[in-house]
Structure 1
Amino acid sequence: MVEIEINGESVVLPGPVQKIVEINELVVVLFRPPPGEISERNIRAYDRSGTKQWSIEPATMPTGESYRYTGLRIEDGELWAYNWKGGDYRIDPFTGEIEDSELAK
């Protein structure tokens, strides 16, 4: 477990933080799942009081498999996440749902 602070409020995550971005008054956190745990929902959004708003929707590849997210970015005002298999996903910052996807590899 890893603890971070959002505006003075303590938030506990199941693994180490890889990246934090801010969008639409939300703090979006990409974290590495703990050893031995496979999680495709390793991005969470919190409001400014540290209350969890959502966990990201798992991304399913064309093969039907899903993988944990390995990156997070803001591009042209939009929230994007990607995985090590080349999946790039535009995420709705209000719900954590995938709005669009591209295969980068």
Structure 2
Amino acid sequence: MAIHMTLQHANPTQLFHPGVCVITPAALRILEEADQDPAGLIDRHCRGDWSAMPSLARQANEQALRTGKSILSTYPVPGKGMVWVQTDPAVPVTTVLLPSDY
């Protein structure tokens, strides 16, 4: 189960549009506990700020921008672990989730 989110505006510096945005209940809970805004993470993801991603994963994201494949970002949540932001441009949908939600 996922919760739909509505983004207030598109950022002109985005490399791609996130499409429909959803967040899993577990990801929402830890982000709220850490006082982090999921919309801010989605914006970073769409601008190509792939944070904690290893070099090969960042390269895969850059290739995915050209080929229409799925794009994945990971972001640390202090004291809570990692949260993933994944966009599937074929649908198009962006999901904020925990690795355990996958």
TM-score, normalising length: structure 2: 0.32
Structure with the bigger percentage of helix: 2
Looking at both structures, which has the greater relative contact order when contacts are Cα pairs under 8 Å and sequence separation is at least 6?
2
